[in-house]
């Protein structure tokens, strides 16, 4: 029997950058993302994280799902899909949006790139083609999955603009946050958007898969002076927690994938109420969201400033400093020690009595210490999710 | 411009029942019918259905029974036909080659089914309860449904719960030997639905149809034209306005509430309450427009199974029709579905969107005309039928029993033509399959039950709602009652 035809023996796909990422990937530690393999860690997660916070890091984000929306009703379709109103979006602008199901529960979030009035691209973490196609019923649009025809890199860090500038990318410093444009990068035509997952200055570079290797190489051209590193998924996870960005199926279950109905979350519970525009004539979930807003969230995703230095990974949250009388009031969804903030941070759900900023809750941390757990009862303060938000992120012109 | 309390889209019999009831309650009602005459698909029905006694009482409709005794003839290739007699609902064998034991078992199976369908029948006339609504009335209704099933007694309740999800072939093969009898009952269970005798749930479909029609062989003959005329008169008496030959293009909404309708000539008629007698798919996707419906809801609309697979054949012969080996006195409903295997093979073609080369038939003769229901002739998407071939196959079957077939006139109406003529997407008799997931509170689908819709002021009253197809008129009546309740 032909071995190639056995599906479980078919290896994960390689991204157009694989030739380079595999060279860099000393740890040979791969992460499975939408049928592709991307590096979890190249050599040291902390080092990669440090490059993103101090110089710049390069992350292969090619596996991200990309959908092309074209047609007369493209804008109408997106306005029905997402909870935000994008009627006033201009060409070359990027919008961040979420989409909900009929019960007002969040399915996924994504960035929407407006190429022109009748042409958009949506980038998101989960597969959504089915949802988009069903939503498009009755609209004059075509929806195409273009995931494999665009290669993408995230180029994040305080020196990202400087390096692009050194690479003679013209006028890159004047690109506004949440905008994109076409540029020439070392003779390659690429699209660069000022978006990202790090809470700092950063760009995402979109190109044809055939240009991938050249684009990758050019970003490392000035490495003698500015140590740019390839960064893996683990370090990306660190910067996104610091920036307070949430991720479907990590911080909340996508409503399309949750099996238990009470695991779905509405935007108000996720702290994304600002993305919901209830004045808009129609979008999926509007009626339910009106009810959710009236009722107010039962629980809410908040930032937590945790006492001590042991990360509260997977901790249960309690209401009382005395362990024996404490009641469960929440759970931590992501936690880490933040090297740049020098603090112990976490993101988690807390019940409605506790989501006011400044409230105190308690986490029971199971800290592994040489084949044993130390149980720590740590006080946590409810704070804003955005732990790290550098003014560089939105400065125009960008920091060179 | 005139203003109406309620506009009803489609003058099918459910629309007429609803409009008369609403008008009787003092509402100003307008009915808009696409065709030149009202009645819709009712005229197509072979007319032996049963109108609910509630409707007759509410609207003073008087329909005389034409005959006391009806006959069902199950044809067989070897001309050893089985003839059953139905005398006011009492069945007996006139002629059969089944042995005595089989005859007895057959009648007892029918009695059993009758008992079960009577239990189901008690849910028919009410609006179905809504699950998880939190209302006490819904909870009470659910409990009373459970209680009615429990009241059957331990043995019968177990039997009902055993057969309710079963396929009819299994149950019949367990109990009967005679192929013709098995075929006869299987025929009744699969006709007009997308099932074969071996499809799970075919017994439920049979029980349900029996509950709607009050008769397993669906025999009570009525004059459909007479019924429709009476309904129309009833509407006129109650000052319902009926506009014929006029098609609705769109239901106009604002902020999730109905504001009126737009006709094909662009005229807009205002009303805060619109009731659609079109099938659910047409109502939601064509008249209302998917743009204002939630995506999950659109998914459910699209998944509503409404593919018709029965075609109607009208034949006029040169001379009077004589059926071999049968006394003229005993002419009634003829069925050609000789055994389970034959029907199942005919169904196989349907699964792959082909018509059956060896079709099953149900027909009635009157002097020199013959009107037949042929299955399976599936509804085709983006394709058309080889009509002549279908007719040829049918005539081949018929000529086994009718010696001189000189056809003067022939007409075939396929599900596709039905769709076009009556605006029923899928061309389905019942607007959608009568199967366990599309019944009661799940009819037509979750989020649209109890005749209401996600849009304020829009209601459904077609056969796509509970209790489904047939000429009961209950759909229209219940929907009208719901409107009266909501407008209070």
| DSSP assignments along A339-355, one per residue | TTTTEEEEEEEEEGGG-
Q: How many CB atoms lie within 10 A of CB A158?
A: 20
Q: Is A287 on the interface with B (CB under 8 A)?
A: yes
What residues of B are in contact with residue A138 (Cβ under 8 Å)?
Answer: 285, 289-291
Kindly tell me if the per-residue pLDDT of A389 is higher than 80: yes
CATH topology for B6-63+222-305+431-487 is FAD/NAD(P)-binding domain (3.50.50)
Question: Which chain A residue shows the shortest CA-CA distance from B285?
Answer: A138
Pairwise CB contact (< 8 Å): A134 & B297: no
pLDDT tens-digit readout, A157-210: 999 999 999 999 999 999 999 999 999 999 999 999 999 999 999 999 999 999
How far away is chain A from the Cα of B454, in angstroms, using its nearest Cα? 9
What residues of A are in contact with residue B292 (Cβ under 8 Å)?
Answer: 282
Pairwise CB contact (< 8 Å): B292 & A282: yes
User: CATH 3.50.50.60 residue ranges in chain B?
Assistant: 6-63+222-305+431-487
CB pairs under 8 A between A and B: 40
Pairwise CB contact (< 8 Å): A138 & B295: no
Pairwise CB contact (< 8 Å): A137 & B302: yes
Pairwise CB contact (< 8 Å): A135 & B297: no
pLDDT tens-digit readout, A54-113: 999 999 999 999 999 999 999 999 999 999 999 999 999 999 999 999 999 999 999 999
Give pLDDT, residue B53.
Answer: 79
Percent above pLDDT 90 for chain B: 67
Give pLDDT, residue A1.
Answer: 47
Give pLDDT, residue A6.
Answer: 67
Q: Is A128 on the interface with B (CB under 8 A)?
A: no
Q: What CA–CA distance (Å, rounded) separates B270 from B261?
A: 6
Instruction: Please name the member of B255, B256, B290 whose beta carbon is closest to the beta carbon of A137.
Output: B290
Determine the 3-state secondary structure of B397 from DSSP. helix
- Does CATH number 2.40.30.110 belong to domain A298-386? yes
Pairwise CB contact (< 8 Å): B285 & A137: yes
Confidence of residue A4 (pLDDT cuts 50, 70, 90): low
Q: What CA–CA distance (Å, rounded) separates B400 from B127?
A: 46
pLDDT tens-digit readout, A37-51: 999 999 999 999 999
Q: What CA–CA distance (Å, rounded) separates A27 from A37?
A: 14
Residue A392: both structure tokens together: 């560089």
Instruction: Please name the member of B256, B285, B289 whose beta carbon is closest to the beta carbon of A287.
Output: B256
Kindly tell me if the per-residue pLDDT of A275 is higher than 60: yes
Average pLDDT over residues B420-429: 90
Give pLDDT, residue B45.
Answer: 75
Pairwise CB contact (< 8 Å): B289 & A139: no
Q: What CA–CA distance (Å, rounded) separates A6 from A17?
A: 26
List of residues 6+ apart from A366 with CB closer than 8 A: A314, A315, A373, A374, A375
Residue A39: both structure tokens together: 């590096």
Span A65-148: which CATH code?
Answer: 3.30.70.1400
Kindly tell me if the per-residue pLDDT of A2 is higher than 60: no
Give pLDDT, residue B486.
Answer: 92
- DSSP bridge pairs for A193: A180, A204
Cβ–Cβ under 8 Å, residues B256 and A287 = yes
Q: What CA–CA distance (Å, rounded) separates B344 from B361?
A: 14
- Domain map (residue ranges) of chain A: 9-62+150-243, 65-148, 298-386
pLDDT tens-digit readout, B367-420: 899 999 999 999 998 888 899 999 999 999 999 999 888 999 999 999 999 999
**Per-residue 3-state assignment (H helix, E strand, C coil) for B85-97:** EEECCEEEEEECC
**Residue A65 φ then ψ, to 5°:** -80, 135
Kindly tell me if the per-residue pLDDT of A3 is higher than 60: no
Angle at B29 between CA B25 and CA B31, to 5 degrees: 135
pLDDT tens-digit readout, B327-340: 888 998 999 999 99
Give pLDDT, residue B47.
Answer: 55
Beta strand extents in B337-417 (DSSP E only): 360-366, 369-375, 407-413
Beta strand extents in B198-279 (DSSP E only): 241-243, 248-254, 257-263, 268-270, 274-276
pLDDT tens-digit readout, B225-279: 888 999 999 999 999 999 999 999 999 999 999 999 999 999 999 999 999 999 9
Kindly tell me if the per-residue pLDDT of A216 is higher than 70: yes
Kindly tell me if the per-residue pLDDT of B50 is higher than 80: no
Mean of pLDDT over chain A:
94
How far away is chain B from the Cα of A135, in angstroms, using its nearest Cα? 5
Q: What CA–CA distance (Å, rounded) separates A211 from A208?
A: 6
> Which residues does B contribute to its contact with A (CB < 8 Å)?
255-256, 285, 289-292, 294-299, 302, 447, 454
Give pLDDT, residue B258.
Answer: 95
- Please give the CATH superfamily to which domain A9-62+150-243 belongs: Probable tRNA modification gtpase trme; domain 1 (3.30.1360.120)
pLDDT tens-digit readout, B134-144: 788 888 888 88
pLDDT tens-digit readout, A289-307: 999 999 999 999 999 999 9
Kindly tell me if the per-residue pLDDT of B460 is higher than 80: yes
Element (H, E) at A183: strand A180-185
Residue A353: both structure tokens together: 């009595």
Give pLDDT, residue B121.
Answer: 82
Instruction: Please name the member of A134, A138, A285 whose beta carbon is closest to the beta carbon of B299.
Output: A134
Cβ–Cβ under 8 Å, residues A96 and A186 = no
How far away is chain A from the Cα of B257, in angstroms, using its nearest Cα? 12
What residues of B are in contact with residue A285 (Cβ under 8 Å)?
Answer: 294
How far away is chain A from the Cα of B307, in angstroms, using its nearest Cα? 20
Average pLDDT over residues B123-130: 79
Q: What CA–CA distance (Å, rounded) separates A279 from A300?
A: 23
């Amino acid at each position: 029997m032909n071995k190639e035809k056995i599906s479980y023996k078919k290896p994960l796909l390689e991204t157009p950058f694989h030739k380079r990422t595999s060279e860099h990937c000393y740890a040979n530690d791969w992460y499975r993302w939408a049928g592709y393999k991307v590096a979890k860690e190249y050599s040291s997660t902390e080092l990669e994280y440090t490059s993103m916070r101090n110089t710049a890091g390069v992350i292969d984000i090619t596996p991200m799902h990309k959908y092309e929306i074209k047609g007369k009703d493209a804008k109408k379709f997106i306005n029905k899909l997402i909870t935000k109103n994008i009627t006033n979006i201009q060409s070359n602008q990027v919008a961040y949006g979420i989409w909900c199901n009929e019960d007002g529960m969040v399915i996924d979030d994504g960035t929407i790139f407006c190429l022109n009035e009748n042409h958009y691209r949506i980038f998101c973490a989960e597969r959504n083609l089915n949802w988009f196609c069903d939503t498009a019923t009755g609209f004059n649009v075509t929806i195409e999955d273009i995931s494999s025809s665009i290669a993408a890199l995230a180029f994040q860090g305080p020196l990202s603009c400087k390096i692009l500038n050194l690479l003679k990318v013209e006028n890159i410093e004047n690109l506004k946050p949440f905008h994109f444009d076409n540029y020439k990068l070392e003779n390659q035509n690429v699209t660069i958007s000022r978006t990202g997952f790090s809470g700092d200055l950063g760009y995402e570079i979109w190109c044809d898969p055939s240009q991938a290797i050249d684009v990758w190489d050019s970003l490392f051209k000035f490495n003698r002076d500015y140590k740019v590193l390839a960064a893996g998924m683990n370090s990306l996870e660190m910067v996104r927690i610091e920036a307070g960005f949430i991720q479907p199926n990590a911080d909340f279950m996508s409503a399309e994938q949750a099996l238990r109905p009470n695991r779905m979350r509405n935007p108000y519970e996720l702290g994304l109420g600002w993305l919901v525009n209830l004045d808009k004539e129609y979008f999926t979930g509007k009626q339910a969201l009106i009810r959710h807003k009236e009722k107010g969230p039962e629980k809410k995703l908040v930032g937590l400033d945790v006492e001590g230095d042991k990360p509260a990974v997977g901790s249960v949250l309690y209401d009382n400093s005395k362990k024996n009388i404490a009641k469960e009031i929440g759970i931590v969804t992501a936690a880490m020690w933040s090297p740049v903030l020098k603090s112990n941070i976490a993101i988690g759900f807390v019940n409605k009595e506790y989501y006011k900023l400044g409230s105190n809750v308690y986490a029971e941390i199971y800290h592994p210490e040489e084949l044993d757990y130390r149980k720590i009862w740590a006080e946590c303060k409810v704070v804003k999710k955005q732990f790290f938000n550098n003014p560089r992120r939105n400065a125009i012109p960008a920091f060179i | 411009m005139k203003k109406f309390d309620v506009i009803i889209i489609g003058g099918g019999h459910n629309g007429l029942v609803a409009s008369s009831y609403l008008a009787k309650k003092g509402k100003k009602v307008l009915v808009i019918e696409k065709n030149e005459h009202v009645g819709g698909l009712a005229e197509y029905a072979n007319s032996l259905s049963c109108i609910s006694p509630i409707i007759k009482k509410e609207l003073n409709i008087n329909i005389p029974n034409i005959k006391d005794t009806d006959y069902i003839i199950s044809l067989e290739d070897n001309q050893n036909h089985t003839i059953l007699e139905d005398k006011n609902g009492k069945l007996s064998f006139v002629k059969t080659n089944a042995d005595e034991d089989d005859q007895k078992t057959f009648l007892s199976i029918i009695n059993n089914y009758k008992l079960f369908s009577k239990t189901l029948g008690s849910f028919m006339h009410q609006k179905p309860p809504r699950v998880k609504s939190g209302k006490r009335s819904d909870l009470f209704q659910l409990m009373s449904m459970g209680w009615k099933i429990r009241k059957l007694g331990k043995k019968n309740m177990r039997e009902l719960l055993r057969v309710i999800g079963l396929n009819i072939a299994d149950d019949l093969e367990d109990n009967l030997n005679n192929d013709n009898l098995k075929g006869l009952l299987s025929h009744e269970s699969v006709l007009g639905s997308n099932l074969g005798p071996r499809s799970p749930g075919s017994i439920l479909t049979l029980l349900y149809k029996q509950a709607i029609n009050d008769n397993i062989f669906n025999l009570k003959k009525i004059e459909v034209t007479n019924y429709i005329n009476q309904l129309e008169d009833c509407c006129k008496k109650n000052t319902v306005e009926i506009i014929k030959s006029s098609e609705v293009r769109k239901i106009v909404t604002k902020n999730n509430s109905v504001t009126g309708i737009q006709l094909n000539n662009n005229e807009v008629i205002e009303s805060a309450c619109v009731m659609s007698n079109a099938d659910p798919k047409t109502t939601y996707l064509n008249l209302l427009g998917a743009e204002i419906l939630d995506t999950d809801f659109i998914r459910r609309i699209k998944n509503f199974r409404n593919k018709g697979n029965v075609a109607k054949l009208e034949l006029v012969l040169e001379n009077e029709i004589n059926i071999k080996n049968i006394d003229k006195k005993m002419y009634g409903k003829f069925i050609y579905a000789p055994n389970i295997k034959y029907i199942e093979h005919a169904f196989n073609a349907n699964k792959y969107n082909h018509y059956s080369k060896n079709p099953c038939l149900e027909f009635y003769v009157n002097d020199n005309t013959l009107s037949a229901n042929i299955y399976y002739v599936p509804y085709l998407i983006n394709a058309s039928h080889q009509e002549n071939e279908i007719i040829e196959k049918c005539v081949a079957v018929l000529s086994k029993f009718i010696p001189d077939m000189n056809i003067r006139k022939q007409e075939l109406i396929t599900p596709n033509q039905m769709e076009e003529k009556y605006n029923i997407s899928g061309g389905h008799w019942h607007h959608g399959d009568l199967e366990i997931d599309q019944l009661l509170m799940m009819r037509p689908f979750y989020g649209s039950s109890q005749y209401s819709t996600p849009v304020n002021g829009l209601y459904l009253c077609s056969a796509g709602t509970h209790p489904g197809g047939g000429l009961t008129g209950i759909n229209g009546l219940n929907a009208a009652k719901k409107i009266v309740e909501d407008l209070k």
